[in-house]
Structure 1
Amino acid sequence: SGYAHVALLTRAMKTKYSKPLHASLMARNRVNYSGKTLQYRLENPRDFVYKGVSDIDVILIDDIITTGITLQEAQKVLTEHGVNVLFALTLADVEE
């Protein structure tokens, strides 16, 4: 859709103690997961790349959670880079 609703949310959450880290965590695989099964999602991972600093605390923010695979992949990559994921927020959930 091109609408950056997650970016708008992260900007709105900015405080003097926190700031958005846009483009620090990027998915190399841009496959569309909409309407896809858990098996499809497992076979086609996002393949995240992290280009940020380590030894920080973060809150993951995503638009929709269906299976949780995207958030799990993101958390794994961040942890491997020394980033502490405090929790995740999503705008909506979808039943599979």
Structure 2
Amino acid sequence: MKDSGRPVAWINADNGQRVMIMLEEASTATCIRKGLVNPAEKEYPGQTGKAFALHMLNVCFSGDDISSEGLDVMNSIFRDGVTNFLAQEKSNG
């Protein structure tokens, strides 16, 4: 995590360099929606899905700190986001 609170990751690029990727606020919100809220709403339609998503967000944070469960969720969401981004870049280029 950067001081800004945005998730960051170091990845190994195809050319062997290590690259830092940082999600902007809008990207982070999109990842949370696609990785947590949407699946919860599909699994538990209606208000229950939204309540479950809020519960999961509360589990992810412990006061101002991120819980170990939160790190696992962020790791999964971030990994999926980077994988999808790189796949789109590869298909576009």
**Higher alpha-carbon Rg:** 2
Quick one: higher RCO (CA 8 Å, sep 6+), 1 or 2? 1
Report which of the two has the higher share of strand: 1
| TM over 0.5, shorter chain | no
* TM-score, normalised via structure 2 length: 0.28
* TM-score, normalised via structure 1 length: 0.27
